[in-house]
Amino acid sequence: MNALLIITLGLAFLYGILMLSYSYGWRRLKTFNPAAHAYTFSTKVSVIIPARDEEKNLPPLLEALQQQSYPANLFEVIVVDDFSEDGTPDVVKYFPATNVRLIRMSDHISKTQRLNSYKKKAIELGIVNYLWPCFTVILAILINGQRASAWVVPGIALSLCGIVWVVGGDGGISWDRLVANISSNPLSYGLAFSGAIIWAVYCNVTKRYADGKNGVALFFMLTAIVLWIKYGMSAEPALAFGGGATLELCVTAGAMAAGYALWNLGILNGNLTLLATASYFTPVLSTFFAATWLSTRLTLTFWQGVAMVTAGSLICWAATRGRSARGS
């Protein structure tokens, strides 16, 4: 059994153990019964429920909240309606309780503003993930002994500045705005950044230890199995596939499968730094297709950040061009 297969099996096993341990721990949580304790309640509590098209699920939830032993005069239930297209607002409006109130997002922002904000955040996360070419060059130096000139340092710095510029939003770099964007969804931004590092590690480790063997198919199958098990153990509703969604899913899956398969063949049998060079233009192409697909207008600041990421990655490649790895 080669090293790549061992690494693939190990990562998939650890991920499965992590998901199962989360589920097991959640099921072992004990139910708190305040009636068994002599408490004098005085703290006011607000229960905030974000909801979109939850006409069927809201009534039992609101009724369950009213059955709590906590004094009704000390807690309120606030339902934030996220542009529902069913009777969700009416359920809250006519619910027979004085401590339940409704806040409509449509009273504060337009639907177009909300969608554009979500779309821009999705594209920003993609750009953060495209730090991986620079990380690939760095790890090629550290792991595979790739030689590089001093130009690799400004190249990496320029790419990082580009990411900060993009995530900072309109107006360029603003640390307050940057922190606000990341704080609004730290998990997504953290996963995008971690994905860039993990992919760079994978490329270099595969190049060094795979010995021509390909473990991508096995890894994807094991990952899919773990995710389906996690979904089966969760309380998520049943999946519903329409014609358009199914077509998009098939096209996306085919593109991802072909991309990963061809990329893995490239890093196994080709020049890793040359592949990274071709990928340096990925942020530009990806941003263009994402903006077109999501019908989103991107600002000049955004494109400036994309240009900085691409230029920094090209400088990193130029710093390693024509310099063979140590020991080769």
Q: Verify that 175 and 219 share a domain, yes or no.
A: yes
Residue 147 resides in a domain: yes
Q: Which tops the pLDDT comparison, 202 or 41?
A: 202
Q: Verify that 266 and 217 share a domain, yes or no.
A: yes
Q: Verify that 99 and 127 share a domain, yes or no.
A: no
Length of the chain as a residue count: 328
Each residue of 205-214: pLDDT tens digit? Answer: 887 777 777 7
Q: Verify that 211 and 243 share a domain, yes or no.
A: yes
CA distance 140 to 218: 25
Residue 45 resides in a domain: yes
DSSP state of 96: S
Give SS3 for 104. Answer: strand
Q: Which DSSP string corresponds to 270-321? A: S-HHHHHHHHTTHHHHHHHHHHHHHT-PPPHHHHHHHHHHHHHHHHHHHHHT
Domain C-terminal end among 59, 79, 107? 107
Task: Give Cα 129 to chain centroid, integer Å.
Answer: 9
Q: Verify that 172 and 296 share a domain, yes or no.
A: yes
pLDDT at 171: 55
CA distance 310 to 132: 11
Q: Verify that 77 and 163 share a domain, yes or no.
A: no
CA distance 99 to 89: 15
pLDDT at 126: 66
Question: pTM of this prediction?
Answer: 0.49
Residue 174 resides in a domain: yes
Count of CB atoms situated within 10 Å of the CB of 128: 23
Q: Verify that 55 and 164 share a domain, yes or no.
A: no
In angstroms, the Cα distances linking 299 to 53, 58, 161, 291, 305 are 32, 39, 17, 11, 10
Of 130, 83, 132, 149, give the one whose Cα is nearest residue 111. 83
Q: Verify that 133 and 276 share a domain, yes or no.
A: yes
Helical segments of the chain, H only: 3-27, 58-66, 88-93, 111-129, 132-143, 152-168, 175-184, 186-209, 216-233, 243-269, 272-279, 282-294, 300-320
Domain C-terminal end among 80, 107, 134? 107
Domain C-terminal end among 88, 107, 126? 107
Residue 5 resides in a domain: no
pLDDT at 117: 56
CA distance 115 to 245: 18
Number of compact structural domains in the chain: 2
Residue 30 resides in a domain: no
Q: Verify that 78 and 174 share a domain, yes or no.
A: no
CA distance 307 to 316: 14
Q: Verify that 103 and 133 share a domain, yes or no.
A: no
Q: What is the mean pLDDT of residues 301-319?
A: 79
Q: CATH number for the domain including 86? A: 3.90.550.10
Residue 29 resides in a domain: no
Residue 63, sorted as left (phi over 0), alpha (psi -120 to 50) or beta, turns out to be: alpha
Q: Verify that 250 and 218 share a domain, yes or no.
A: yes
Q: What is the mean pLDDT of residues 300-324?
A: 75
pLDDT above 70 covers what percent of the chain? 75
Range of the domain at 210: 114-320
In angstroms, the Cα distances linking 170 to 88, 173, 287, 298 are 34, 8, 16, 10
Q: Verify that 184 and 255 share a domain, yes or no.
A: yes
Each residue of 74-123: pLDDT tens digit? Answer: 889 999 988 787 888 888 888 888 888 898 887 766 555 455 555 556 65
Residue 271 resides in a domain: yes
Of 213, 180, 59, 197, give the one whose Cα is nearest residue 128. 197
